[in-house]
Amino acid sequence: MSSFISSTRAALTGLALVLIGAGGHHLLSQPEPLSPVTAQAQQDEAAPTNIFAKIAREQTPAVVNISTTQKAKRPLHPTRDDERLRQFYERFYGQEMPGEQERQSLGSGFVVEKDGFILTNYHVVKQADEIVVSFGNGLGGKNKEYPATLVGADPKTDIALIKIKPERDLPVMKLGDSAGLQVGEWVIAIGNPFGFSGSVTVGVVSAKGREIGAGPYDDFIQTDASINPGNSGGPLLNVKGEVVGINTAIFTGGMAGGNIGIGFATPINVAKTILADLKGGKVSRGWLGVMIQQITPEMKEAFGLQSDKGALVGDVVDDSPALKGGIRAGDVIVSFDGEPVGSSSDLPRMVGARKPGTKIKLGVVREGKEIALSFALGEMPAESAEGDDADAPSEEGSGIDRLGLAVEPVTKELARQLDLPAPDGIVITGVAQGGPAAQAGLRPRDVILEAKRTRLKSVAQFEKLVNDAKPGENLALLVRRGKATQFFVLTVPEEE
């Protein structure tokens, strides 16, 4: 189980607060008149005592609680456990088990436009049949509920925009600039943890640019401000009272799903770039059409690169802007519109921040020389599911014991079986456990297209390249796996 969880709270059950008084009969007595000292104390209490109290008072009215309901139907073919549950219902309730069950969850959000537009996390409202928004005690002291509709969503950044129809203008939060946020800066989280509306916690920015495997545009703000289930979609504010992030996930370290001081928020600048698209119901992003990889020390050596900065192109999508613009597999993209590309994770964020049709300039290292390419971005197509089939075929082929793998030529029939566009390269039919090929990450049914930047036409050609390599040399292999290609680095072992 992943140690990262979204900070959405499932339906709350069994939570009770026990209040113990000194004597129950005193609860019914009339309140005594306030003394002048008590009245003065309450008047003083009305004034915020520090900046956090001021921000909490001013901004909490624009924070909302979001509850969702999802109707989950029972499977058509019950399992043994379903049958036992059916018998339980019939025995104790005298009725059949319901055909569908309701799942409820809680989250947070915040108003961004006075006529009822609210930002939250996509996972808070994902697949919801009913969305209900309430303002807790933050809006005129009333806990009024409003039905909400999903206007637009962006699963890649986990951001959603919902809409309610209020009777009057709503308080609105100001969106700040997350790019200017500094590590060590104070931040405030407001939300609905475990259903406790209007909860305020304070901490600092622990780090920026965190990647937690949530998606292609990971760039999270890490904070130690307490974030718990139910905080998802709520705002993270700076000391100016501006929203700098959307609280999204927490790290639990494998423990029960509560705060341990490591929370993550999506930078508000990410939301600002797509807000107009969300209002239109569809997010449109720029698209290059390349499969990229991180440059490892082994790849740096194998490609003769001077630096490990940049994004290595493993494949170029057919009929993509990158292909038409002259990008090739093996190129290293080192700059995007004049900005350096530090790693492969930087490039998707840079491209995704541009609109389709935007003309861009790329700095590319190809065979040791830097060249400049310029072309227009396309529009990112809808995602398609591409599976990996790593099962090994039973046919025997030529073996290269030194590398711990068996290979054979790609015939027309084999190309058809593997759904390859052409009978190119050599196919791996077996990988020795613990051998160099296995350590490099190669699998049966991988198709090796290139070795040492040389296109492979036969097994003998590959064997010669391996035999000519020196012990310890890193061989860069261009490999097709499924419908994508990527580079692997195979280290030639010492001869026994």
What mean pLDDT is predicted for residues 402-410?
Answer: 80
Q: What is the pLDDT of residue 493?
A: 80
237-254 pLDDT, tens digit each? 999 999 999 999 888 765
Least confident among 113-117, 126-130, 423-427: 423-427
168-187 pLDDT, tens digit each? 999 999 999 999 999 999 99
Q: What is the pLDDT of residue 76?
A: 45
Residue 34 has pLDDT above 60, yes or no: no
Side-chain-side CA neighbours of 301 within 13 Å: the count stands at 9
DSSP state of 138: T
Least confident among 89-93, 217-221, 331-335: 89-93
Q: Are strands 474-481 and 130-134 parallel, antiparallel or unpaired?
A: unpaired
Which pTM value belongs to this model?
Answer: 0.66
Catalytic sites, residue numbers: 123, 158, 232
Q: What is the pLDDT of residue 455?
A: 86
Q: What is the pLDDT of residue 141?
A: 46
Q: What is the pLDDT of residue 480?
A: 87
Q: What is the pLDDT of residue 90?
A: 60
Side-chain-side CA neighbours of 376 within 13 Å: the count stands at 6
CB count within 10 Å of CB 41 equals: 11
Nearest by Cα to 232 from 66, 2, 113, 117: 66
Comparison of pLDDT for 291 and 208, the residue scoring more = 208
Res. 98 pLDDT band, cuts 50 70 90: low
Res. 99 pLDDT band, cuts 50 70 90: low
Residue 225 has pLDDT above 80, yes or no: yes
d(CA 191, CA 214): 21
Q: What is the pLDDT of residue 229?
A: 87
Residue 75 has pLDDT above 90, yes or no: no
Tokens of 356: 């389709």
Nearest by Cα to 58 from 108, 110, 7: 110
Q: Burial, 412: exposed, middle or buried (Cβ in 10 Å; 0-12, 13-18, 19+)?
A: exposed
d(CA 133, CA 163): 9
Least confident among 70-74, 222-226, 266-270, 360-364: 70-74
Q: What are phi and psi of 385, to 5 degrees?
A: -85, 125
User: 485: which strand partners?
Assistant: 480
Q: What is the pLDDT of residue 452?
A: 85
Nearest by Cα to 138 from 61, 77, 196, 68: 61
What distance, in Å, lies between the first and last C-alpha atoms of the chain?
Answer: 42
Res. 351 pLDDT band, cuts 50 70 90: very high
Q: Tell me the one-letter amino acid at 138.
A: G
Res. 20 pLDDT band, cuts 50 70 90: very low
Nearest by Cα to 448 from 478, 414, 481, 412: 478
d(CA 198, CA 61): 8
Residue 396 has pLDDT above 50, yes or no: no
Name all domains of the chain by residue range, CATH numbers in brackets.
1-9+51-93+101-283 (2.40.10.120), 286-379 (2.30.42.10), 398-491 (2.30.42.10)
Side-chain-side CA neighbours of 199 within 13 Å: the count stands at 20
What mean pLDDT is predicted for residues 34-54?
Answer: 64
Residue 256 has pLDDT above 50, yes or no: yes
Residue 86 has pLDDT above 60, yes or no: no
d(CA 130, CA 104): 10
d(CA 108, CA 234): 5
Q: Are strands 235-237 and 243-251 parallel, antiparallel or unpaired?
A: antiparallel
CA angle (174 as vertex; 168, 179 as ends), nearest 5: 155
Comparison of pLDDT for 387 and 217, the residue scoring more = 217
Nearest by Cα to 380 from 253, 282, 448, 494: 282
Q: What is the pLDDT of residue 384?
A: 34
Tokens of 475: 């061989």
Comparison of pLDDT for 334 and 394, the residue scoring more = 334
Where would I find the H helices in 191-330? 268-280, 297-302, 321-325
In this structure, are residues 362 and 333 in contact, taking their beta carbons and an 8 Å threshold?
A: yes
Q: Burial, 410: exposed, middle or buried (Cβ in 10 Å; 0-12, 13-18, 19+)?
A: buried
What mean pLDDT is predicted for residues 109-135?
Answer: 93
Q: What is the pLDDT of residue 468?
A: 80
Q: What is the pLDDT of residue 101?
A: 57
Least confident among 87-96, 280-289, 445-454: 87-96
Percent of the chain with pLDDT over 90: 37
Residue 405 has pLDDT above 90, yes or no: no
Q: Considering all CA atoms of the chain, what is the largest pairwise distance in Å, rounded to the nearest integer?
A: 100
DSSP state of 273: H
d(CA 442, CA 166): 58
User: 491: which strand partners?
Assistant: 474
Tokens of 61: 């009215």
